[in-house]
């Protein structure tokens, strides 16, 4: 812009004047998608070489600009180390094996750019987390007592091997069972290894490191067939490898072991039926158990029983909504609504409102809590019942021929909750946890499997039953009088969050 001054004799032009102000702005460069890329780097010591891990934060560099890259590394989402480099030495921003304490971790990196070391950096760009180590494909397995279960594991990164005279030495990682410390409170998972002579280990060779490996687990019975534990677990750890970083891989989660057996679950319900209204079969009684507490409504054979048979832990909460409706609440959050007919004979119907703890965990006559219909008809042996009309959506208007399936869930006399004597001493609901161990055996007898079952270490918390009796548990007049808060673990809270938009279907259990 020009300004002019005019007099009678002279016209003068004033030249424009500009002032330049510089702002410390970061580079405007797109570095593309960021990812963590692992590789093995060979370190030589004479004629011996050792393969060591190096993790590269992979991104596009601006070769035409002389700028700085701030590469930040995170271990399990916690900032670990910062490395500032330029385009010419960007390879030095790697995360080395010597920077790590152990394997079995999540690694991610982030990058931001700036013109000078002391200038303002640009926005942060972060990669996705990637797990490196040994991970479980399944965290729980179930198998018959005369069968073999499979713990599935896989390694997400190749093993670092030793090279001698340009030849790779045998390279493997050995997985061993943990032997919990009985003297530690409730058998925390920091005990010693099972002795070598028990042969409870499994080897993974580096040749096929990327495969999913199946570690066999076999049931081993003790001299008694009585099972005292509600849960059995296997604790694994990497025992030995060519790289010390693998030997420190200690945080492999517990694997729960379930073996199909005839023991009644410690959180269960049972229905009793009798002939009524001609040749029909009607529900005349329901019994609900949570550990050592049992509540029954029994109108069978002319009886009229509505009471607790046992109440040692006070885990069940029962409310009477009216003369024809009772609600039973379990510690898991499951509620069971029992309705009585006003006509004679009295017929009972149970409506089960599953909790998130029942999701994919329930079994029995009332079905499996999932979105798949046919899995509601699984027999105690794990096989699907052959019932006509049961397709993917169970679209048949009426299901016929289900009598064999119903009878398959009939309990034997020893497990009949309706025949319990008042204040019978039942096993508590507090989880009795047993760590699987191995029997001593010779190499000749070794079949490559981990033994679980009879030979275990009981890690049950100390617990004493209150034998005062059933009179300690009262039936509330209605559900609004209930003020008890049901506690949930962190995992349950997360599951509740994940399923907050999913309304679990109410399941009706009736047999008439």
- What is 134-260's CATH number, 2.30.30, 3.30.43, 2.60.40, 1.20.1640? 2.60.40
Each residue's pLDDT tens digit, 208-255: 888 998 887 766 544 333 344 555 667 677 766 666 788 777 667 777
Distance CA 450, CA 128 (A): 36
Would 35-132 and 134-260 be classified into the same CATH topology? yes
Task: Give the Cα separation of 369 and 377 in Å (integer).
Answer: 11
Higher pLDDT, 408 or 413: 408
Decide which of 259 and 46 is more confident: 46
Q: Is 198 helix (H, G, I), strand (E, B) or coil?
A: helix
Q: What is the pLDDT of residue 439?
A: 53
**What one-character-per-residue DSSP string does 305-331 give?**
EEEEEEESS---EEEEEETTEEEEE-T
Q: Are strands 162-164 and 167-168 parallel, antiparallel or unpaired?
A: antiparallel
Average pLDDT, stretch 250-265? 60
Q: What is the DSSP letter of 476?
A: B
In this structure, are residues 351 and 506 in contact, taking their beta carbons and an 8 Å threshold? yes
Residue 348 has pLDDT above 80, yes or no: yes
Mean per-residue pLDDT of the chain: 73
What is the pLDDT confidence band of residue 500, given thresholds at 50, 70 and 90? Answer: very low
How many Å apart are CA 235 and CA 189, to the nearest integer? 7
Q: Would you say how long the chain is, in residues?
A: 512
Structure tokens at 349: 């119907």
Fold classification of 35-132 (topology level):
Immunoglobulin-like (2.60.40)
Backbone φ/ψ region at 128: left (φ over 0), alpha (ψ -120 to 50), beta: beta
E strand spans, 76-198: 78-86, 95-96, 105-114, 125-126, 130-132, 134-136, 140-144, 148-155, 162-164, 167-168, 172-179, 192-193
pLDDT at 19 over 60: no
CB 96 within 8 A of CB 126: no
Greater confidence (109 vs 462) lies with 109
**Residue-level pLDDT at 271:** 80
Three-class DSSP labels, 495-512? HHHHCCCCCCCCEEECCC
Dihedral pair phi/psi, residue 162, rounded to 5°: -100, 135
Which helix (H) or strand (E) is 363 found in, with range?
none
Q: What is the DSSP string of 332-346?
A: TS-EEEEEE-SSSS-
pLDDT-based confidence at residue 317 (cuts at 50, 70, 90) = confident
CA distance 221 to 244: 37
What confidence score (pLDDT) does residue 232 get? 66
Higher pLDDT, 468 or 341: 341
**Coil, helix or strand at residue 374:** helix
| Residue 150's pLDDT band (cuts 50, 70, 90) | confident
Q: Which residue has the higher pLDDT, 287 or 448?
A: 287
pLDDT tens column, 124-134: 999 999 999 98
Q: Does residue 203 contact residue 174 with C-beta atoms inside 8 Å?
A: yes
Give pLDDT tens digits for 76-123: 999 999 999 998 899 999 999 999 888 889 999 999 999 988 888 889
- What's residue 40's pLDDT? 92
Angstrom CA distances, 509 to 270, 282, 335, 506, stand at: 10, 11, 13, 10
Query: What does the pLDDT average to over 252-263?
Result: 61
- Higher-confidence residue of 198 and 125: namely 125
Query: 188 CB contacts (<8 Å, ≥6 apart)?
Result: 180, 181
Handedness of CA 257, 263, 269, 275 (dihedral sign): positive
The reported pTM is 0.52
Peptide bond into 345 cis (omega under 30): yes
Using alpha carbons, select from 314, 321, 316 the residue that is nearest to residue 338. 321
Nearest Cα to 288, choosing from 265, 272, 270? 270
pLDDT higher for 1 or 141? 141
Domain boundaries, the chain: 35-132, 134-260, 267-426+475-484+492-509
Q: Find tokens 């979105």 and name the residue.
A: 371
How much is the average pLDDT of 269-289? Answer: 84
CA distance 419 to 272: 11
Query: How far is the C-alpha of 308 from the C-alpha of 287, rounded, in Å?
Result: 9
pLDDT of residue 47: 87
DSSP string, 399-464: ----HHHHHHT---GGG-GGGPPTT--PPPSS--EEEE------TTT--S-EEEESSEEE-PPP--
Tell me what pLDDT residue 258 has.
64
Residue 364 vs residue 191, higher pLDDT: 364
Q: What is the 3-state composition of the chain as percent helix, strand, coil, each rounded to the nearest 5?
A: 10, 40, 50
> Distance of alpha carbon 501 from its chain centroid, rounded?
20
Residue 16: pLDDT band with limits 50, 70, 90: low
Which of the two residues, 67 and 365, has the higher pLDDT score?
Answer: 67
Residue with more model confidence, 27 or 498: 27
Query: Cα separation of 77 and 105, whole Å?
Result: 10
* Residue 339 pLDDT class (50, 70, 90 cuts): very high
**Highest mean pLDDT (candidates 43-52, 127-136, 399-408, 423-432):** 127-136
* Lowest mean pLDDT segment, chosen from 266-270, 343-347, 437-441: 437-441
Of 14-18, 97-101, 197-201, 464-468, give the range with the top mean pLDDT.
Answer: 97-101
């Amino acid at each position: 812009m020009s300004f002019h001054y005019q007099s009678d004799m002279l016209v003068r032009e004033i030249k424009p004047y500009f002032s330049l102000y510089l702002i410390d702005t970061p580079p405007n460069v797109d570095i593309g998608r960021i990812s963590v890329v692992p590789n093995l780097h060979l370190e030589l010591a004479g004629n011996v070489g050792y393969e060591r891990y190096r993790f590269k934060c992979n991104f596009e560099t601006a070769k035409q600009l002389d700028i700085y890259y701030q590469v930040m590394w995170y271990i399990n989402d916690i900032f670990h180390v910062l490395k500032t480099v330029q385009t010419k030495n960007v390879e030095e921003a790697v995360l080395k094996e010597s920077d790590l304490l152990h394997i079995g971790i999540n690694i991610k990196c982030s990058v931001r750019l700036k013109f000078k070391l002391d200038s303002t950096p640009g926005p942060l760009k972060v990669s996705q987390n990637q797990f490196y180590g040994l991970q479980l494909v399944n965290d729980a397995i179930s198998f018959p007592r005369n069968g073999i279960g499979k713990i599935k594991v896989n390694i997400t990164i190749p093993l670092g091997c030793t090279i001698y005279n340009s030849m790779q030495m045998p390279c493997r990682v050995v997985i061993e069972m943990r032997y919990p410390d009985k003297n530690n409170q409730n058998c925390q998972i920091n005990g010693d290894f099972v002795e070598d002579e028990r042969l409870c280990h499994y080897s993974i060779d580096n040749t096929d490191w990327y495969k999913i490996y199946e570690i066999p687990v076999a049931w081993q019975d003790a001299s008694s067939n009585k099972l005292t534990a509600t849960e059995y677990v296997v604790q694994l750890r990497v025992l030995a490898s060519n790289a010390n970083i693998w030997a420190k891989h200690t945080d492999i989660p517990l694997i729960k072991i379930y073996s199909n057996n005839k023991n009644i679950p410690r959180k269960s319900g049972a229905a009793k039926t009798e002939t009524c209204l001609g040749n029909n079969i009607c529900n005349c009684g329901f019994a609900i158990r949570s550990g050592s507490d049992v509540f029954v409504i029994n109108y069978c054979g002319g009886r009229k029983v509505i009471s607790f048979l046992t109440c040692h832990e006070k885990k069940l909460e029962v409310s009477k909504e009216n003369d024809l409706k009772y609600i039973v609440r379990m510690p898991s959050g499951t509620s069971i609504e029992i309705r009585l007919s006003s006509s004679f004979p009295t017929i009972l119907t149970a409506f089960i409102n599953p909790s998130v703890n029942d999701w994919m965990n329930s079994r029995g006559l009332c079905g499996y809590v999932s979105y798949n219909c046919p899995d509601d008809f699984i027999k105690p042996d794990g096989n699907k019942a052959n019932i006509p009309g049961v397709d993917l959506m169970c679209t048949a208007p009426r299901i016929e021929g289900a009598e064999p399936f119903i009878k398959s869930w009939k309990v034997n006399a020893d497990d009949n909750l309706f025949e319990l004597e008042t204040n019978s001493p039942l096993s508590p609901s507090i989880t009795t946890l047993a760590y699987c161990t191995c029997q001593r055996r010779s190499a000749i007898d070794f079949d490559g499997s981990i033994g679980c079952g009879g030979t275990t270490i009981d890690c049950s918390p100390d617990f004493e039953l209150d034998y005062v009796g059933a009179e300690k548990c009262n039936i509330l007049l209605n559900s609004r009088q209930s003020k008890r808060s049901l506690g949930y673990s962190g995992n349950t809270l997360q599951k509740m969050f994940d399923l907050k938009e999913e309304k679990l279907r109410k399941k009706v259990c009736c047999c008439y």
